[in-house]
Amino acid sequence: MDLRELAQRRFHRAFESLTAREQKVVERVAQRRHISRNVQREVQEQLTLGQRLADRVAAFGGSWTFILLFAGLLFLWVLLNSLVLLHWKEAFDPYPYILLNLVLSMLAALQAPIIMMSQNRQAAKDRAEAEHDYEVNLKAELEILALHEKVDALLDRQWKELMTMQQEQMQVLRELVRAREPSASGKGG
């Protein structure tokens, strides 16, 4: 089927006025080719080393393992500094733990942009998947419409065949009735 004709039949618009995504779907329908693909793999293959590292850091930073390790490290820091302060009166980071505060601030300053980069990339992945889902759904809808048309055409053809058969049967019945009428009137007279 011609692309322009298919676009006009399905979208009631010219092929040229369709979006690039719609044109791609129309082309795939016309060629009877599948449109589904593994979007996750495509996105994953395009990631740079830095992007993959950022994703791993964000995944670790948002895990219970990180929370428990970090809580343990904080507890150990406070405990060591408090015990040293009690015994020797000189801790390397006495209460209010200014050095710990500095380390935590630097960690947050580094970790926040890395997590944001990962979130932005995840949003881009989600957009790519949504666009792909739209294409697959649109193609499925077009295929279903084509199937409806085929079924409707089959029903119309069968209906016409049934009507033709009924008319032929009616004609045969009329002929039988006519054939019996003269013989019935001849016997009765």
| Span 49-75, pLDDT tens digits | 989 998 998 899 889 999 999 999 999
Q: What is the pLDDT of residue 184?
A: 53
Q: What is the pLDDT of residue 37?
A: 83
Q: What DSSP string runs through the chain? A: --HHHHHHHHHSS-GGGS-HHHHHHHHHHHHT------HHHHHHHH--HHHHHHHHHHHHHTSHHHHHHHHHHHHHHHHHHHHHHHHHS--SS-TTTHHHHHHHHHHHHHHHHHHHHHHHHHHHHHHHHHHHHHHHHHHHHHHHHHHHHHHHHHHHHHHHHHHHHHHHHHHHHHHHHHHHHHHHHHHH-
**Residues 53, 110: Cα–Cα separation, whole Å:** 13
Question: pTM for this structure?
Answer: 0.64
Which residues in the chain land under pLDDT 70? 1, 182-189
| Span 4-15, pLDDT tens digits | 888 888 888 888
Q: What is the pLDDT of residue 6?
A: 84
- The mean pLDDT of the chain is 88
